[in-house]
């Protein structure tokens, strides 16, 4: 039951970021590409489709992928510090 809740939460958060990214492509104050990549990164934990898109992005834009990966690691560390998990 807990695994289903975790999977549902991952999909919900990931798709929320993807939708924000799509909206952000048309609005000047949202960083659409950033939100799309974050959504794909979150979804890649559960979705083979999102994982394949990220893999293609990594091969085509290695420097941008590296920056995104570093940002993700910093975000994870901050979250763990906030929650109190070491």
Q: Where are the domains of the chain?
A: 2-83
Span 79-84, average pLDDT: 75
pLDDT of 85 reads: 66
User: Distance (Å, rounded) from C-alpha 36 to C-alpha 58?
Assistant: 14
Hey, what are 51's tokens? 């994982």
The pLDDT tens digits for 17-31 are 999 989 988 988 878
Please provide residue 32's backbone torsions phi and psi, each rounded to the nearest 5 degrees. Answer: -60, -45
Q: pTM for the complete prediction? A: 0.71
């Amino acid at each position: 039951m807990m695994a289903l809740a975790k999977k549902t939460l991952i999909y919900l958060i990931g798709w929320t970021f993807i939708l924000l990214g799509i909206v952000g492509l048309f609005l000047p104050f949202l960083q659409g590409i950033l939100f799309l990549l974050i959504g794909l990164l979150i979804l890649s934990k559960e979705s083979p489709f999102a994982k394949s898109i990220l893999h293609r992005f990594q091969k085509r834009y290695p420097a941008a992928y590296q920056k995104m990966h570093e940002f993700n690691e910093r975000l994870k560390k901050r979250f763990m510090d906030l929650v109190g998990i070491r």
